Amino acid sequence: MAALGSPKYSDRNFRFGPYELSEREGELRKNGVRIKLQEQPFRVLLELVANPDKVVSREELQQKLWPADTFVDFDVGLNNAIRKLRQALNDDADHPHYIETLAKRGYRFVAPVTQAAGAPQQGGEAAEVSTATAAAGTASSNRADSTVVTGRRVWLWVFVAIVATLVLVGAFLVWRGRHPAPRLAIEQRVTSNPPEAPVTGSVISPDGKYLAYSDPTGVYIRHIASGETRPLQLPAHFDAAPTSWFPTSWLPDSTHLLLVAEEVGSDVPSVWRASILGGNPQVLIENAMSAAVSPDGSAIAFLRIGPDNVELWVSRNDGSDAKRIVESVEPAIVARLGSWATNPLYTGSAVTRVTWSPHGRRIAFIKGLWPNYPDPSMDNRFTLETVDASGGSPKVLEDSTQLRLALAWAVDGRLFFAWRDAPTSDSSDTAVWSLRVNEISGDAEGTPVPVSKGVGRIGELSVSSDGRKIAVRRANTQPEVFMSELDPSSHRLQAPRRFTLDENMNLASAWTPDGRAVIMTSNRSGKWKLFRQDLDQVTPEVLAEGTPNFMLPRLNPDGTAILYFTESGPDDPQHMTAMLEIPLQGGPPRSILRMPALYNLQCARKPSRLCMLTTYAGSAYQLLSFDPESGKTQNVASYKVKVALNWSLSPDGSQLALVLTNSAPKVTFMSVNDKSTREVELKGYSHVNTVDWTADSKSVYVVAESKSGTDAIVEVEPSGNQRVLLEADKNMRFWWAIQSPDQRHVIIEQLTGENNVWMIENF
């Protein structure tokens, strides 16, 4: 017997789609197969399913499912639970089939739900049922004959149901045989460039015979059938400065093509026309990129860069009579950031890829919405749209964070695009999908279907004029951790060696206090996790996992704990960033503070207790100091700039070093005490990227790009002295360099990986 006042045992069972939810067993099953689900996500799902089509607020979930003593971790816990539920149900937050997020209100279960009959409840109600059964015992014998007849009727209906089910299954199998699931096409690699020369652009000729592709050494024309490859004749210099060339489109004759030229140090590209038969290229359009020739060769669609956006334009085939077709418009997606007032989650929109319809009547393009601060968990949102070639209102076909930047429109009406198949994974692998689109109306005809899968991000798609070949450029370039040592005789860094033996993203940003291990984040298992790897290890050990993202781990002043950011994710209507702390040796995390748009943090070493962080809103950076124990913040400085602000706090806590990415090549040193500044210009460089202090607080390591386009690690002192520690090869890219506390080793974050072109046929 249940104790007086104890909760009654419930036995509710819910069915929705292929899923069954059993409260008694605490299980979620799909077609009879158990799906692993932790207790808290299960309880959230149970609450939502029990209230279908009703808005369940976050406050209601907190009151019912979270004890009062866990209030501090409620937001993170609920967001984690919703994310795990979507992963278990294979649901999409952008296009939900089960759980819909209502900003600032809560969640709603949108799928049809049926509740199956459960077992009798225990306790008082069970006793009442037993008593009622006993009282009706004498009357039951008078209904014996009726019960027999009823039983026969039940078995008759069961038999009919079984026969009907078998008929339906048979009909489905017949239909399935006539309509098999689409078989994915096989991608065959066409180019074999090494990591030192990644393919940067590609496009297949209309006749399907040639592939034009570029890498850091030039532009090449490859005969697809024979594999014969030769370089395209290009000017050695453009305005006396090195220039990168990217093929973007062929003319209908398959002997001329369009190239985009980007001069090193300039933000204004231009479109050129070149012939594979020889001769000098001719410039057609200034301030233009991603150009595409119409199928009949009479017009060019291209993108033009504005002050704060990128727009779609169309001109004649010689670049004349250009007119704007699609404007970039500020998006209306906003988030309320507590006392920080209202701030857009996305800063603006920009057209990014263009392609013509088979007969040149419409233009398809992808428009991107960019996050207003750098954050790997804040994914870009893209829309796939079409517009009449003469202008008008665009029509949106897809709107998702899974959409990626590649488009091609085939002669049979299929529009091919890149799609990230695993929204719940941190993997960047993308697949090719297709959607039939009416060329006249711009409307979709049917639903998208997968075409092929592969490893890596898709950079470009192009299709031959007969629609039988698709060229796909896949990029597998990832940031990886390299290790180097300072040569005491030459005072230069030795040749870096690979430290992380993994082809996924690995981001190292801190050392342990003894300089014997590196702290980093990685998505090597499909999800971002926090790792530690000793210098003599080849694989890292996990320190923490389970949150949406781990970003920028740094040590606290005592060197006893790791501070890091984690993003609450798109389910959080305020889109806050949390700073947490975890013991260096591992253990449960502790929440320090939550603020919007956090993107950098660093602490000095004891005896200093100074820690600093940065927030970003619109184009304004706010530099704050914070207490790692209480989380209290204090304003230090504000910067209103349109480029990224990078900074580093000296280990002794006395100075800040600041650089503006892609801006003037200089380092600004600022005294923490009196805010006085001193600027040091880097000689022989076009711009700087990152800055990090050396362990002795006497100088900084700056990653800068030379005027010839190559990267270098330069040591710069506040006095103005500077020397080059390591020069990259022409095609090598550095991100940052961090010295170990014992000054013996240097982490070098470097981009590496293969970018090549693949071919799809029989699709």
Note the pLDDT of residue 132: 35
CATH of the domain at 362: 2.120.10.30
For 496-520, what is each residue's pLDDT tens digit?
Answer: 999 998 878 899 999 999 999 999 9
CA distance 175 to 303: 46
Is the per-residue pLDDT at 354 higher than 60? yes
CA distance 492 to 726: 6
Asked whether residue 722 is domain-assigned, the answer is no
For 37-70, what is each residue's pLDDT tens digit?
Answer: 888 889 999 999 999 999 999 888 888 887 654 4
Task: Write the CB contacts of 746 (distance below 8 Å, at least 6 apart in sequence).
Answer: 483, 484, 485, 486, 493, 701, 737, 738, 739, 740
Helix, strand or coil for residue 638?
strand
Residues in the chain: 763
Note the pLDDT of residue 160: 61
Confidence band, pLDDT 50/70/90 cuts, at residue 151:
very low
Note the pLDDT of residue 116: 73
CA distance 212 to 389: 26
Asked whether residue 563 is domain-assigned, the answer is no
Note the pLDDT of residue 174: 54
For 326-350, what is each residue's pLDDT tens digit?
Answer: 886 554 444 333 333 334 455 556 7
Pairing of strands 362-371, 346-356: antiparallel
Note the pLDDT of residue 707: 77
Using alpha carbons, select from 665, 650, 679, 677 the residue that is nearest to residue 714: 665
Q: Which of 449, 476, 503 is at the close of a domain?
A: 476
Query: Mean per-residue pLDDT for 457-474?
Result: 94
60 and 199 share one domain: no
74 and 199 share one domain: no
Asked whether residue 43 is domain-assigned, the answer is yes
383 and 261 share one domain: yes
213 and 88 share one domain: no
Range in 111-120, 411-420, 464-473 with the lowest mean pLDDT: 111-120
Angle at alpha carbon of residue 465, lines to 462 and 471, rounded to 5°: 25
Q: Which of 454, 476, 498 is at the close of a domain?
A: 476
Q: What percent of the chain has pLDDT over 90?
A: 50
334 and 199 share one domain: yes
Asked whether residue 621 is domain-assigned, the answer is no
Judge contact between 505 and 523, C-beta under 8 A: yes
- How far CA 618 is from CA of 373, 615, 664, in Å, comes to 8, 10, 21
102 and 198 share one domain: no
348 and 460 share one domain: yes
106 and 199 share one domain: no
238 and 338 share one domain: yes
- Kindly provide the residue ranges of all beta strands, DSSP E only, lying in 289-379, ordered along the sequence: 289-293, 299-305, 310-316, 323-326, 334-336, 342-344, 346-356, 362-371
Asked whether residue 114 is domain-assigned, the answer is yes
Asked whether residue 455 is domain-assigned, the answer is yes
Using alpha carbons, select from 353, 361, 341 the residue that is nearest to residue 302: 353
For 230-249, what is each residue's pLDDT tens digit?
Answer: 999 887 654 445 578 999 99
- Supply the range of the domain harboring residue 373: 187-476
106 and 193 share one domain: no
User: Which has more pLDDT, 662 or 565?
Assistant: 565
For 288-334, what is each residue's pLDDT tens digit?
Answer: 988 999 999 999 999 987 766 788 999 999 999 999 998 865 544 44
Confidence band, pLDDT 50/70/90 cuts, at residue 171:
low
Judge contact between 521 and 530, C-beta under 8 A: yes
CATH of the domain at 90: 1.10.10.10
Question: In the numeric block, which tokens belong to residue 606?
Answer: 């004891």
For 358-405, what is each residue's pLDDT tens digit?
Answer: 999 999 999 887 655 444 445 567 889 999 999 999 999 998 888 888
65 and 202 share one domain: no
CA distance 696 to 507: 23
Note the pLDDT of residue 5: 30
Note the pLDDT of residue 40: 85
Question: What's the number of domains the chain is made of?
Answer: 2
For 188-231, what is each residue's pLDDT tens digit?
Answer: 999 999 888 899 999 999 999 999 999 988 899 999 999 999 99
**Residue 6 neighbours by CB distance under 10 Å:** 10
Judge contact between 552 and 542, C-beta under 8 A: no
Q: Which of 476, 505, 531 is at the close of a domain?
A: 476
Amino acid at 476: N
Q: What's 661's DSSP letter?
A: T
Confidence band, pLDDT 50/70/90 cuts, at residue 756:
very high
199 and 280 share one domain: yes
Question: In the numeric block, which tokens belong to residue 294?
Answer: 């119409």
Note the pLDDT of residue 489: 86
